[in-house]
Amino acid sequence: MMRTCLWSSLFVLASLQAVSAQNSTTTCNNSPSLCSRQYNNVTYLGAHDSPFLRNDETDFSTSGNQFYNTTQQLASGMRMVTGQIQNPSNSTALHMCHTSCDLLDAGTLESWLSEIKTWMDANPNDVVTILLVNGPGASASDLASAYTSSGMSQYAYTPASTSATSTWPTLESLISNGTRAVNFVSTLDDNTGATYLMNEFDYMFENSYENYNASDFSCDVNRPSNLANQTSTAISSGYMSLVNHFLYEQQAFGISSPNEAAITTTNAPSGGGSGNLGDHAQKCSAQYGKAPTFLLVDFSNVGPAIDTADTLNGVSNPTGRTSLPDTPLSETSAATIALPQTTTLCLGLGTALLAMVFL
């Protein structure tokens, strides 16, 4: 717990310094060069199952896909965050749960959206994409309730088209119009009353996602099923591409969990063995005739995976980011800082660091 406290305090300092640097010039998603680009002409690195953590907060649950929380992911450059919603038996609210709330419950959808909004409030030059996996088949009105309660609806972008299109606003336009949150749901048959919630497969396609070996990675369309293996048709029809690039491993009782053991290779921007992110992204770029729109990874700090997105975007000097450690987090590394576990100390550290920033 103390390790989390100290890291959070240091993160406050680094984040404020990053924001100060970013505000000195006009940037969009950490680079001035991205401002004039259409939304669908940018590559976004996405944190797969963003709220599901594998760290000391969850006792390093093997169901966790990320080492650092959503706020830290966003600050480090993630511009797509995804998560699965479920209806737990002990609550009427929608929760962020990894397949089953008995495996890993990350709290309510409203709370997660509030966390994202808080970060967006402090970072007005960033466009964030949210993808919800709709486990229980929640209605648009149920989802919209969480968006409204969290305040995220005020940032929501409402598309001009109800289907795949090659015409999207620029990042600069989304930012200036205050519609910086682009929201997709997998799946949502009817978005009446909340037209900012877009049915994912009306606008984008995905490659296969259930991969256990590096040799399984493909760029071919897997979903939606009506476009399966019809990549050229999907691209020419204006569909954006989401490339799943993460591996599972089989656990007892037929349970699959994120493959942490291979992550330094899986997320590598180049070289480092078969199945690295950089090579996969380049292969998909060649097949699509353009860079993928979204790259979705587990343990997003490792690689660093963000380097691949920067390469595809032609960004060589990003600004306003807060770097996370480029290594897997373990119980051993989490215990390296042994300090008294007191809330008072945590608050004191945070206050002192804030004072340093504003002196």
> Hey, where are the domains in the chain?
2-358
DSSP letter assigned to residue 293: S
| pLDDT interval class at 272 (50, 70, 90) | low
Q: Which fold has domain 2-358?
A: TIM Barrel (3.20.20)
Mean pLDDT of 314-343: 75
242: Cβ–Cβ under 8 A, 6 or more apart, which residues? 46, 204, 205, 206, 207, 292, 293, 294, 296
Distance CA(106)–CA(117), nearest Å, equals 17
DSSP letter assigned to residue 321: -
Using DSSP's 3-state secondary structure scheme, residue 119 falls into helix
Nearest 5°: phi and psi at 62? -70, -5
Distance CA(221)–CA(200), nearest Å, equals 14
Average pLDDT across the chain, whole number? 89
Q: Helices marked H in the chain — which ranges?
A: 2-23, 70-75, 109-122, 140-150, 171-176, 231-236, 263-266, 277-288, 306-313, 331-334, 343-358
Give the residue among 54, 51, 49, 29 at the shortest CA–CA distance from 41.
Answer: 29
Q: What is the pLDDT of residues 47-68, one digit of tens each?
A: 999 999 999 999 999 999 999 9
Length of the chain: 359
Nearest 5°: phi and psi at 284? -70, -35
Mean pLDDT of 27-38: 99
- Residue 20 reports pLDDT greater than 60: no
- Residue 234 reports pLDDT greater than 60: yes
Specify whether the CB–CB gap between 12 and 353 falls below 8 A.
Answer: yes
Name the region of 289 (left: φ>0; alpha: ψ -120 to 50; beta: rest).
left
- Residue 260 reports pLDDT greater than 50: yes
At residue 350, the pLDDT reads 40
Among the residue ranges 90-94, 142-146, 249-253, 312-316, the one predicted with the least confidence is 249-253
What would the two tokens of residue 44 be? 């976004």
Name the region of 320 (left: φ>0; alpha: ψ -120 to 50; beta: rest).
left
**Single-letter amino acid code for the residue at 277:** L
At residue 353, the pLDDT reads 37
Among the residue ranges 3-12, 175-184, 313-322, the one predicted with the least confidence is 3-12
At residue 339, the pLDDT reads 32
Using DSSP's 3-state secondary structure scheme, residue 237 falls into coil
Between 70 and 12, the more confident residue is: 70
Strands 240-244 and 248-250: unpaired
337: Cβ–Cβ under 8 A, 6 or more apart, which residues? 2, 3, 6
225: Cβ–Cβ under 8 A, 6 or more apart, which residues? none
Q: What is the pLDDT of residues 201-224, one digit of tens each?
A: 999 999 999 999 999 999 999 999
At residue 186, the pLDDT reads 98
Mean pLDDT of 279-285: 98
At residue 310, the pLDDT reads 99
Distance CA(98)–CA(96), nearest Å, equals 7
Distance CA(176)–CA(191), nearest Å, equals 25
At residue 334, the pLDDT reads 61
In a 13 Å sphere around the CA of 169, the CA atoms on its Cβ side amount to 18
- Residue 13 reports pLDDT greater than 90: no
The b-or-e profile of 157-169 (16+ CB within 10 A means b, else e) is bebeeeebbeebb
Q: What is the pLDDT of residues 101-126, one digit of tens each?
A: 999 999 999 999 999 999 999 999 99
**Mean pLDDT: which of 39-48, 245-254, 340-349 is highest?**
39-48
